[in-house]
Chains A and B, each alone.
Chain A
Amino acid sequence: MKEVIAKIENMSKAFPTGEGDFWALKNINLEFLKGEFSGFVGPSGSGKTTLLNILGSLDTPSKGKVEVLGNKIQELNQRQASNLRSEHLGFIFQTYNLLPVYNVYENVEFPLLLLRMDAGTRDRMVKEAIEWVGLMDKIKSRPNQLSGGQCQRVAIARAMVKKPDLVLADEPTANLDTENSLNILDTMLNLNKELGTSFIFSTHDPKVIQYLRRIIRLTDGEVASDDPAPGI
């Protein structure tokens, strides 16, 4: 029996607008197991990113309960939410969002600095993570000296360096060509298998969808379907 790492119960999320509340998510009920490689799929405005933000403790639900790695998201204060993110969660963004003034090594090192690790351990873990994504030869390069695919690999290394329990990836291939997209997805799938890290994607990219082991389709803020990928 696999461990449940995230559980969503009767969760809804509203955003205030001039004409009253807009319900971006409605009555969501989901469970995620350790080691899953799953994703929210749906068109723009279906609530994928909002759901990902709530799972990542960047936002809170308006109704219902969300529990991630034993932490009740709706009850966390800012410090507890920061601790959850820095210790257990990794984020991968559509636009990479590397810190432009730092080189590859320093970008990957940043999450470990927040965890106040000693320099020796930090150095070993950073180099290990950069090796996972095959960028040892670019270790001193700045983001503006890298291609889009390389930047996204650095972003993966940054998300994975602290060996998080859960990685949340928001449209990670949206800015990449097919070859780079597949490389990135292979890398993430390998890390999922080797390290047992759970991945939850938000995507409408068919290339990503074909890699997912579980596809949760969202329509207008509601779960339309939640199925294993074909062939699983």
Chain B
Amino acid sequence: MFKFLLKGVFRDRHRWLFPVLIVMFTVGLLVFSFSFLEGYKQSYLRQTSRFNTGHLKVVSRAYAEMLDLKPYDLALLDIAGELQGYKARYPQLDWVERINFGALLDVPDEMGNTRVQGEVAGFAIDIFTDDSEIKRLQLDSALRSGRLPARSGEILLSTIAAEKMQIAPSDTITLMGSTVFGAMTMQNFMVSGTVEFGIASLDQGAVVVDIQDVREMLDMENAAGEILAFFKSGEYERKQAARIMQDFNQRYSDESDEFSPVMLRLEDQGSMGYILAMLDLSVLWMSIGFITVLGIVLWNAGLLNGIRRYGEFGVRLAIGESKRRVYAALLIEGLIVGTTGALIGVILGSAICIYFNRYGMDMSVYNRNSTMLSENVLYTSINAYAIIASFIPGVLSTVLGAALAGGAIFKRQTSQLFKELET
């Protein structure tokens, strides 16, 4: 009987073409949308954790109060010993020290007078101890001209800032700022190269400096604005992060001491938690929206198809098929059509996702004025959830459409369906 129904479905274009096309496109679109959003979320998490939040972050309690301002005058002091303790207690984490600071970049002319000045966001990392930070921030691939700093006194400058201020590698610039004690400070650096991270907020005007140079410049010996921790697996592990944070804060943090360290998870920092929740919610709302629209469209398609087939139902009832069996056959047809459309849709959507996963999508136009740490090239991230969450609504929509449309079989008298044979 199933084979018989299968033949009937695929020989009658009216029964399968429109629903299969609708389901196929919608499921394909859903797979792509889920993968796009997941890719965006992963990209955002990756970039934000690399450049800003880490998977976990240790700062002073006072610094945590004004986390978005990155007040390096509230930095953690005398951290060398403490850091050794953290590394021993939490071996699953990689630890790095960072200082974020704001400075004025002054470019002199041939006479030594100021040619141009501009504000830059200073980003102090450990460049010379090992190459872990260079790898983490992918400085090699971000380098657009010149080379990476090879010795103290060399810095990297973002390409856009370099172009705006007409600075080339090997030019000397001066960074002017204030020390942790509020005194004015300035120091000359040589620009070893220019970088472009593909993150609009960084590429507008950032300098990457070795943390030791910055400590000297800002009078922050053995201090760090932030200590970032990354899971060695490279992936953010939410549950483990919560456990580590709880343990750390119980062990090391003191509520009565504003300079005692406090650990924050990625989602506890700034609006990260809200943004991640919004991204998750948008996936949910998108699913509900698509399923609703798809259900209504297919319900209507099912109704129209059902009306067209009342005559056929009448014949089948007359031949001896029960209403229940006719209804079940309609549901099976819905299942066949939905499964076919959803399968093709998943294949189509996955193929597009795999393409964009490999080659990426240039999002630089949309990121131009963005303050969020999202990559200019976005890679879709396809996973089992995207496929299941797209496939199931695709199948359900046709089955539900058929179930609603087929209700008329039960509402109508058998003799009425039979009479409609003649119309």
Contacts and interface: CB of A to CB of B under 8 A. Distances in A.
Interface residues of B, number: 26
B320 A111 contact: yes
B319 A86 contact: yes
Given A83-B320, A85-B320, A95 B4 contact: no
Contacts of A211: none
Contacts of A109: 4
B135 interface: no
Contacts of B415: 53, 58-59
Interface string B395-421: 000000000000000000111001001
A113 interface: yes
A222 to B, nearest CB: 20
Nearest to B417: A58
A93 B421 contact: yes
Contact of A89 (B4, B312, B320): B320
B415 to A, nearest CB: 4
Interface residues of A, number: 30
B317 A110 contact: no
B422 interface: yes
A40 interface: no
Contacts of A111: 319-320
A87 B320 contact: yes
B320 A113 contact: no
B422 A99 contact: no
A94 B422 contact: yes
Contacts of A58: 317-318, 414-415, 418
Contacts of A101: 7-8, 11-12
Contacts of A85: 317-320
Contacts of A114: 319-321, 325
Contacts of B12: 100-101
B198 interface: no
Contacts of B320: 82-87, 89, 111, 114
Main secondary structure of the interface of B (DSSP, over half): helix
Contacts of A91: 318-319
A106 interface: yes
A53 B12 CA distance: 29
Contacts, number: 75
B319 A59 contact: no
B143 interface: no
Given A58-B418, A97-B311, A101-B12, A82 B317 contact: yes
A87 B421 CA distance: 22
B414 A59 contact: yes
Given A106-B4, A113-B1, A113-B4, A99 B315 contact: yes
A59 B413 CA distance: 8
Given A95-B421, A101-B12, A113-B1, A56 B7 contact: no
Nearest to B410: A78
A114 to B, nearest CB: 5
A124 interface: no
A93 B420 CA distance: 12
Contacts of A106: 4, 7
Given A58-B415, A106-B4, A78 B318 contact: no
Of B312, B324, B414, B421, which is in contact with the most chain A CB atoms at under 10 Å from its CB?
Answer: B414
14 contacts: A58-B418, A78-B322, A79-B322, A94-B422, A97-B314, A97-B315, A101-B7, A101-B11, A101-B12, A106-B4, A110-B316, A113-B4, A114-B319, A114-B320
Q: Lowest 10 CB-CB distances: which A-B pairs, in order?
A: A86-B320, A82-B322, A85-B320, A59-B415, A101-B11, A97-B315, A91-B318, A101-B12, A58-B415, A58-B418
